[in-house]
Structure 1
């Protein structure tokens, strides 16, 4: 299940956010850009995906599209799981809602944690830390699969980095995930050694390598 998290989410707990066709699905475009096929090695799933989109962003341990799709980008990454970790609530963290989306999008533009859309906040609980009223750090829940919830969008304004805000919010989000009965997991690019070391200190362990891959349907 963790090896194909987007499919597990879109065919399970987050099906309400999905557009689906056979063995392929994608998040609604204003929620998230991610797509999935039930089996990345099965050309039939890619044929179904072609009914949904001409541009696909996917993640899995191995992704090789069949003929008819062109690779646009491939970034190695790792998935990390918190099998035995314990979260820590943060008294300074505030719950972010739809009314905070403009500020969240501004923070994302400065901190660049990865894809984040106008409705991403609807996928789970997002927490933030403010300084003099300004949102300077946030983290939240993105993919939900049976028994697991992903920690995502961990980011800090460049002016406030080095203060441990991202670590605090990661632990606070993890605490909420554990409270509702799931285990936390997350994704990070393989070349981000500092982040991997940080997450290991927080209690996450590398579960397996993944690839973040973008493909374009050829005309």
Structure 2
């Protein structure tokens, strides 16, 4: 991918310093989302000074997740744990036609159902205030939330699709693809490019995203960080 995608090499940093600055805390070298929004943190560059600054943003009993292009260096006062590797994918083109008749916008009143679905389907981190990061869509069956997807990191020119999950009993019905295509359409209409992150080990999800028109862009290391002292 060309240089127009350069900010996606450090998306958390650029999101926290542009469109989502109100959802986190930061200084000149590091930043993190508020814990009930998302667990992600970032540094402007992987320097000892930046990781020292990030140390001060992590609660004594807390942990953050950080994605980096290279393995983390040795750090003076942070302990790292390996979570896995991520594949970042982008979808610059328009989605194919799809049926959106049963897709419903989700709001604050839906948070308990969203937390229940994500707890069972486990699409990745989802907290009480994650919905504040962007637009969310869902599908209900007799009032029960059975599928959802939404927007997570937003930075100038890019919006991440995340929390894509379907109740186990309803999988195989193309619900995930239809929700993602609806989100893609809206993101593109706002002049942004949709992107997403998926664990590199999740080959079935990567295959689905490629069928939907997403292209592999960049691999990342995903690590947990906590205070050493």
**Same-fold call, TM cutoff 0.5:** yes
- Look up the match of 2:65: 57
- Look up the match of 1:76: 85
- Look up the match of 1:47: 52
Three-state SS of the structure 2 residue aligned to 1:2 is helix
CA deviation after TM superposition for structure 1 residue 80, in Å: 0.2
Q: What is the correspondence of 1:10-29 to structure 2 with a 5 Å cutoff? A: 10-29=16-35
1:160 aligns with 2:170: yes
Tell me if the contact between 1:87 and 1:172 (Cα under 8 Å) persists in the aligned partners: no
| Structure 1 unaligned residues grouped into runs of 5+ | none
Q: What is the correspondence of 1:91-170 to structure 2 with a 5 Å cutoff? A: 91-170=101-180
- Look up the match of 1:199: 209
* Deviations 1:179-217, CA, capped at 9 Å, x for gaps: 111110000000111111110110100001112210122
Three-state SS of the structure 1 residue aligned to 2:79 is strand
Q: Distance in 2 between matches of 1:183 and 1:22?
A: 27
| Larger mean Cα displacement after TM superposition, 135-144 or 70-79 | 70-79
CA deviation after TM superposition for structure 1 residue 88, in Å: 5.0
For normalisation by structure 2, the TM-score amounts to 0.91
| Larger mean Cα displacement after TM superposition, 51-60 or 175-184 | 51-60
Q: Distance in 2 between matches of 1:218 and 1:35?
A: 17
CA deviation after TM superposition for structure 1 residue 86, in Å: 2.7
Q: Distance in 2 between matches of 1:4 and 1:130?
A: 35
Q: Distance in 2 between matches of 1:71 and 1:114?
A: 19
| Larger mean Cα displacement after TM superposition, 60-69 or 5-14 | 60-69
* Deviations 1:149-196, CA, capped at 9 Å, x for gaps: 000000001111111111111111111111111110000000111111
For normalisation by structure 1, the TM-score amounts to 0.95
* Deviations 1:41-68, CA, capped at 9 Å, x for gaps: 2111111101110522111222404232
CA deviation after TM superposition for structure 1 residue 118, in Å: 0.3
Aligned-pair RMSD on alpha carbons? 1.3
Q: What is the correspondence of 1:167-182 to structure 2 with a 5 Å cutoff? A: 167-182=177-192
Q: Distance in 2 between matches of 1:147 and 1:88?
A: 24
Tell me if the contact between 1:96 and 1:126 (Cα under 8 Å) persists in the aligned partners: yes
Q: Distance in 1 between matches of 2:70 and 2:140?
A: 39
| Structure 2 unaligned residues grouped into runs of 5+ | 1-6
Query: Number of aligned pairs?
Result: 218
* Deviations 1:76-98, CA, capped at 9 Å, x for gaps: 11000112243656121100001
